[in-house]
Structure 1
Amino acid sequence: MCLGIPMRVVEIEGIFAWCEGRNGRSRINTMLLGDVAPGQWLLTFLDTAREAIGAERAALIDSALDALDRIAAGNGDFDDCFADLIDREPQLPDFLRKEQS
């Protein structure tokens, strides 16, 4: 299974960026994105940046990854990891909604 890990750019080195995230510091290939800047958040897969993301989305993804860590450790208490979904009615994406006539 390949999980996307949010990482914050610290330093640029050609087509690579030194980034910091939940698992420490890593050298990330940024060739698929082009120019990135220190302070920017990236969604990374296998040490490659696939998407530039905002800090808020990075925090939500990190929170979901915290839930997976808890589950793997046998802890079933992870509701706080999905605070943005608690007490919210599920919504279909726009493309799945029927057009109202």
Structure 2
Amino acid sequence: MCIGIPMKVESLPYPGRAVCSGRGQTENLDVLMLGDVQIGEWVLAWNGMGTKIITEERARQVDAALDALEAAMNGQTPDVEDAFADIVANTGKLPPHLQAQLDKKEKH
């Protein structure tokens, strides 16, 4: 598992490259695998590459989780409920395809 850093596309200097900023840093990312990237969009960055286009809301969620991890690493006690709200909201829920299989099994 890797941790992507949410970054906002600031400029597109030439095809396949995007200058992006996030979490106090600026990077020139390879975005060839992402297709048509636009200025103002958010991407997850890992190892010099854009790995996925994400929404601004998702970027905030990832930032909150990374902030909590950083706080924990610095000996602080982060608010896990807020930092991982998207995970907490889905706790105890099966993905739709697994829920459908379970529902089908229970009918028999």
Q: Between Structure 1 and Structure 2, how many residues are aligned?
A: 101
Structure 2 alignment gaps of length 5 or more: none
Query: Displacement of 1:84 after TM fit?
Result: 4.5
Q: Does 1:61 align with 2:79?
A: no
CA contact (8 A) 1:10 1:18 kept: yes
Aligned to 1:37, what secondary structure does the other structure show? coil
Aligned to 1:13, what secondary structure does the other structure show? coil
Partner Cα distance (2:89, 2:13) in 1? 44
Q: Give TM-score scaled by structure 1 length.
A: 0.86
Query: Displacement of 1:76 after TM fit?
Result: 1.8
Tell me whether 85-94 or 70-79 shows the greater mean CA deviation: 85-94
Tell me whether 47-56 or 80-89 shows the greater mean CA deviation: 80-89
Structure 1 alignment gaps of length 5 or more: none
1:31-85 Cα deviation digits (max 9, x unpaired)? 1112211100001111101111100111101100011101110112323323455
Kindly indicate which of the two structures has a greater share of residues assigned to helix: 2
Please give the root-mean-square deviation of Cα atoms over the aligned residues, in Å: 2.0
Q: Give TM-score scaled by structure 2 length.
A: 0.81
Tell me whether 53-62 or 77-86 shows the greater mean CA deviation: 77-86
